Structure formats: C-alpha cells, structure tokens
Amino acid sequence: MFDSLSNQVLSSLSDISTNPIALTVFGIIAVLIVLLLLATVFPFWRKALVNLHILEQDEQPSSLLLWVVTVVVIVKLTQTFLVQPFIVDGGSMLPTFHNKEFLLVDKLSYRLHAPHRGDVAIFRLYEGDTNPYTGKYLIKRVIGLPGERVVVHNGVTTIYNKTHPEGFQIDESFVTSKDTTKDVDVTLDDHHYFMMGDNRTQSYDSRDWGPLDASSMRGQVLFRLYPLSVASYEPGRFTYTK
C-alpha cells in the first residue's frame, strides 16, 4: 500500500513537471511558502509582506502559511486520487470531443472496478520505444478488454472472447470517420486494453503503438465543463452489453 501511495505521489509530481501552467502555479506557491517561513522568523520579511498586502497588520505569517499548505495538500490529494482536470488537445476523438474542451476526469472509479468497453478514458502513454507521445496524456475509447482478441479489418472491429469465441462485431455508431487502412489482429493479456480514438482517420492509438498497460490508466471522463453549451455528465460514454 505504501509503495502504491508513493507511486501516486511521484506520478502527481511528474505531472506537474510536464505541465507549464501547473509548474508556474506550483512555483508561485513554493515562493509564497518560503516567504512566509522567512516572515515567521525575521520581522523584516513580515513587514515586507504586510507592505505587499499579502499579510494583514494583525495577521501572523504562521496562520497564512498553515492555510496555504492545507489548501495545497487538499487540492493535490483530490487531483491525485479523486478528480483531475484535462483539456482535449487535437481532433482524435471527433465528433465526440473537440479541441480545447475542458473535462473533469474521475480517478476513483478505476480504483474500484476495471474499465468497461465503451468508456472514454484518460491515460498516460508509455508504450512504444520511439513513440513521440511517450509520457503524454491521451484521451481514447476502451475497445478491447484483457484476455480478448481484437481484429480490426477494413474499418470493422471484431471482438473474440470466452463468451463469444466465434467473435462479434461491436457497435461503433459513434465513429463517423472510418479508417480502412489500419488492419490489426492482437490478443490481449490479462493487464492490457485496446484503445482507439473515435476519429479513426486521425487517431494515433493502439492500432499504431499496441495495447495499453492497465497501470497507465488514469480515469474516465466524468464531466465536460466547457464549452458551456455542451456541458454534460459522462459525455461520450457508450454502454455495451457484451
């Protein structure tokens, strides 16, 4: 359990280092914490913070320091274990998701159950030795589950599993742009998923870099908050019965 918690914390810190906005915010907060620590010891620094209107005349640096640290801890715990913001980058999920849409990702559900076929999931890609997207966050749809054989031929996806050893073609009515050039036949082991973008002609996905390790999953899309005109709960989720 300790190792798992440590991995989550390290992963969260790694996320900060790869996000310019998060890195800037974290830097500002870090400078503020250092200034407040100095102000608790040296009157000069406390006076300077009062002059900058960071502290009130009768406010103790330690009280503001405690408040800042508490907020940072709560935000990071929430982002690490519960909910994380995500901005869509690119058109690989058109027409379901568009570039620059602002999403909230549910990180708790996948700790309680495995991803379902049809989920729109966020993951961090590490597959492929020369993958240009290594270390980046991607958004794709869960198509193949662990233990299944996935065959993509002429733009049609067929799944073979224990329940349907003869195979069945999955409903992909959410796909409006099919790709008939990428044929794949792969059998997944017990900890890999097959991921594809809804915009098949532009999506760089498991057809290119292979199955996704379960440990790379970060969560499923819970809310679309922006644009407000398309704000919704679990947008794009497609429920399969098979």
pLDDT band per the 50, 70, 90 thresholds, residue 116: very high
Amino acid identity, position 86: F
Most confident option among 81-85, 131-135, 167-171, 236-240: 167-171
Whether the pLDDT of residue 93 is over 70: the answer is yes
Helix (H) or strand (E) holding 125: none
Query: Residue 209, Cβ neighbours under 10 Å: how many?
Result: 20
Read off the pLDDT of each residue in 225-231 and give the average, rounded to a whole number: 94
DSSP string computed for 162-219: SS-TT-EEPP-TT-SB--SS--EEEE--TTEEEEE-SBTTT--SHHHH-PEEGGGEEE
Q: Which of 107, 140, 203, 206 is catalytic?
A: 140
Give the pLDDT score at 22. Answer: 64
* High-pLDDT (> 70) share of the chain, %: 88
Q: Which residues of 185-208 are buried (b: 16+ CB within 10 A; e: fewer)?
A: ebebeeebbbbbbbbbbebbbbbe
pLDDT for 132-151, tens place per residue? 778 889 999 999 999 999 99
Please state, rounded to an integer, the average pLDDT across all residues of the chain.
Answer: 87
pTM over 0.85: no
Confirm whether 232 is a catalytic residue. no
DSSP string computed for 80-97: HHTEEEEE--SSTTTTTS
Q: Which domains can be identified in the chain, with CATH numbers? A: 2-81 (no CATH), 85-233 (2.10.109.10)
pLDDT for 4-17, tens place per residue? 445 555 555 555 55
Confirm whether 242 is a catalytic residue. no
pLDDT for 25-73, tens place per residue? 778 888 999 999 999 999 999 999 999 888 888 889 999 999 988 888 8
Give the pLDDT score at 224. Answer: 96
What crossing angle do the helices spanning 61-81 and 20-41 adopt, rounded to 10°?
A: 150
d(CA 120, CA 196): 10
d(CA 39, CA 59): 11
Cβ neighbours for 238, distance < 8 A, ≥ 6 positions apart: 118, 141, 171, 174
Give the pLDDT score at 135. Answer: 80
Cis-peptide into 227, omega within 30 deg: yes
Give the pLDDT score at 232. Answer: 95
Q: Which of 92, 203, 206, 216 is catalytic?
A: 92
Read off the pLDDT of each residue in 192-207 and give the average, rounded to a whole number: 96
* Nearest residue to 65 via CA among 26, 22, 34: 34
Q: What are phi and psi of 237, to 5 degrees?
A: -65, 135
Contact 178, 200 (CB under 8 A): yes
* Nearest residue to 178 via CA among 159, 158, 160, 196: 196
